[in-house]
Amino acid sequence: MEQLRINPAKDTTADIDVTDIPELPDDVFIAPLEKPKDLGDDWLEPQQRVYTAEEHHIWDDLFAQQMEILPGRACSAFMAGLERLDLGRGGVPDFGAMSEELKSITGWEVVPVPMLIPDHVFFWHLANRRFPAGNFIRTRETFHYIQEPDVFHDVFGHVPLLTDPVFADYMAAYGRAGWKALKHNRLKALSALYWYTVEFGLILEEDGMRSYGAGILSGPTEAVFAVEAESPNRIHLDVDRVVRTDYTISDLQPTYFVIESFAELFHMTVERDFNDLYGRLGAGFTYANQAVLDVDRVYHIGTQEYAQRGGRGSGAQPV
């Protein structure tokens, strides 16, 4: 495997000023979210929620369930991060203590937010190395599947990789890039990249394909499906291709994109100026999320059996 080194001098977003929350140009559309009255423009909760004993229990049970499944399926940087931050010490982790530790490793911290926050505010936090994490935790009724990110998805799924120096830099650069995409009205394209890397990315390790995406690693079914099922495609990540690819947020992915290393990801994204890419994009997505194209470097052509049987709710078996 080729050894890539990241080159911070080539960071195309380095000169973007991230001090203040960006002003949105009038012609830029973002989802209208209503800010709870007691929160400021940064959308941050004054403090992390105080969890009940049962809520701490739910965390412990979710944690135990993932630990049965993730060894050999999650990438090594994720497993190392979990251990380093000691996220299994019992109960929902305290954001303050976790942030202290994380800050000393890569300069990142974790801050509590009530719900999904507007894109430009989310980007601003990332650019400043603050990861906004949902405060609430799912209930027993929604134990196996929730669509909105809760504290288990956000902390268990996302935070461990923020201990990896290259991935940590990628996330901060993504925040700055988000800002730039907003100005070009190209948020949808950049969001597809987030989706297929940060949320649902796979990485090729020496002993096989592993997951690094938080959306995969925070649930039991997709953690197995993503790396082992016959159904989904596994294709090498190509930025021009991915930003044109549609995605579903409510079911297992029909296609995963694979990187060889975080340095490779950094090289393909942070070190590349997206201006001309944005200029050449069409209005909507060009490729369906089940498609395999003749230009794709394919690791596995999926049967798509799961999706074609009707996916979630149809009784189709993922694996």
Task: Give the footprint of ligand PHE on this chain (CB under 6 A).
Answer: 12-13, 173-174, 177, 180, 193, 269-270, 272-274
Extended strands (E) in the chain: 109-113, 130-134, 202-205, 208-211, 233-236, 255-259, 298-300
* Gap between the Cα atoms of 160 and 156, Å rounded: 7
Of 1-9, 69-77, 174-182, 208-216: span binding Co ion (CB under 5 A)? 208-216
Question: Of 214 and 227, which CB lies nearer to Co ion in the complex structure?
Answer: 214
Per this entry, what is the length of the chain? 319
Q: How far is the CB of 173 from ligand PHE (least distance, A)?
A: 4
Question: Of 13 and 99, which CB lies nearer to ligand PHE in the complex structure?
Answer: 13
Return the one option of Co ion, ligand PHE, none that residue 214 interacts with (CB less than 5 to 8 A, by type): Co ion
Return the one option of Co ion, ligand PHE, none that residue 177 interacts with (CB less than 5 to 8 A, by type): ligand PHE
CA neighbor of 197 nearest in space, from 212, 176, 183, 182 = 212
Question: Of 62 and 181, which CB lies nearer to ligand PHE in the complex structure?
Answer: 181
Q: How far is the CB of 263 from ligand PHE (least distance, A)?
A: 13
Question: Does the annotation place 199 within a ligand binding site?
Answer: yes
Question: Does the annotation place 125 within a ligand binding site?
Answer: no
Q: How far is the CB of 181 from ligand PHE (least distance, A)?
A: 7
CB 199 within 8 A of CB 215: yes
The gap between the terminal CA atoms of the chain, to the nearest Å, is 30
CB 196 within 8 A of CB 203: no
Size of the site for Co ion (CB under 5 A): 2
Which pairing describes strands 202-205 and 255-259: parallel, antiparallel, or unpaired?
A: parallel
Q: How far is the CB of 200 from Co ion (least distance, A)?
A: 10
CA neighbor of 238 nearest in space, from 253, 259, 252 = 259
How many other CB atoms sit within 10 Å of the CB of residue 313? 8
What are the binding residues for Fe cation?
A: 153, 158, 199
Which residues of the chain form contacts with Co ion (CB under 5 A)? 149, 214
What are the binding residues?
A: 153, 158, 199
